Amino acid sequence: MAPALLILFAPSGTFSPAKGVFLLSAAVAAVTALVSVLRFMSAYWYIHVHMSHAVRYVPALLAFMMLGFICLNTRGRGRYAAAIPASTVAVFFTLLLWNVYADQYSGHMSMPLFVPAALLFYVVMASRLMDFRKRKTGAVPVCGDPVVEAGRQAAMAGKSPSDILFGRIAELFDSRKPYLDDKITIGKVANMLYTNKVYVSRAINDHTGKNFCQYVNYHRIMYSVSAFRENPHLRISELAEMSGFHTIVSYNMAFRLVMNDSPGEWCKKIRQETGTAQ
């Protein structure tokens, strides 16, 4: 059930069959199903003696899978880099092992404790992912701005590899908004486009005059500007968080570079223009 729910609620593309997240989840699900069948047979067909030794090795197998899963998440730099936080992975495997072996330790881990914990985990995860999807599509898309449009026009006119790549980068940033991920890197963007980070960096610099971080921050600021125009009651801290910044300080610096004004002063002007009370 856990792999199925993760796949069901995960953002689009997270569980592509080409990614380690999908492969390891599928393997864990298969092993869990096999263990359940073996234990059912051992309980009702009295073959426990033959199966007990094999079943004892399953925790070790699951532990190695968990290790591989977390390594892909934290160390993966290629196409197998996972898109789920390590904390989520840890909780997922903890609940999975608990579910399979809870009845062997009924004096310590009872099902009445497992079921509420599992349900709470699924509710929290579903809520976070739904909020993530809402944040991705809730604000007015950044369209028509000179940075993106200039690159697209160049891509249509020149048709050089750099032009075409920047057109793909601009489309990716418009449609999937990877800049909302506060852990986004140029390597991750390159993986999404099936290219390398040197080409991505060069394409962005050639068409915008910005480095990757400046390009990402530009889109983040424009996203927060659109979000604030839609909802002038948002606080600056909320704008910073929802647009992918770690701190308000970094948000303030990036905002001033893009908008030539502090976020506080700019928000005040917009509220005055729209007649919205602070």
Token representation of residue 255: 């905002």
Q: How far apart are CA 162 and CA 151, in angstroms?
A: 10
- Are the beta carbons of 184 and 136 closer than 8 angstroms? no
The CA radius of gyration of the chain, in Å to the nearest whole number, is 24
- Are the beta carbons of 234 and 228 closer than 8 angstroms? yes
- Write phi, then psi, for 209 (nearest 5 degrees): 75, 10
What pLDDT sits at residue 162?
84
What pLDDT sits at residue 18?
47
pLDDT band at 262 (very low <50, low <70, confident <90, very high): very high
Cβ atoms < 10 Å from Cβ of 13: 10
pLDDT in tens, 160-181: 888 889 999 999 999 999 999 9
pLDDT in tens, 82-134: 445 545 555 666 666 665 555 555 544 455 555 565 556 556 655 655 655 55
Portion of the chain with pLDDT greater than 70, in percent: 42
Q: Identify the structural domains of the chain with CATH numbers, from first to last.
A: 2-137 (no CATH), 146-274 (1.10.10.60)
- For range 202-217, the mean pLDDT: 94
pLDDT in tens, 1-22: 454 445 444 444 444 444 555 5
Token representation of residue 100: 């399979």
Q: Collapsing DSSP states into helix, strand and coil, what is residue 85?
A: coil
What pLDDT sits at residue 218?
95
pLDDT in tens, 17-45: 445 555 666 666 667 666 666 666 665 55
DSSP 8-state class, residue 1: -
Q: Is residue 63 over pLDDT 80?
A: no
Token representation of residue 82: 């996972």
Cβ atoms < 10 Å from Cβ of 167: 20
- Average predicted confidence (pLDDT) for the chain: 70
Q: How far apart are CA 137 and CA 246, in angstroms?
A: 21
Q: Is residue 79 over pLDDT 90?
A: no
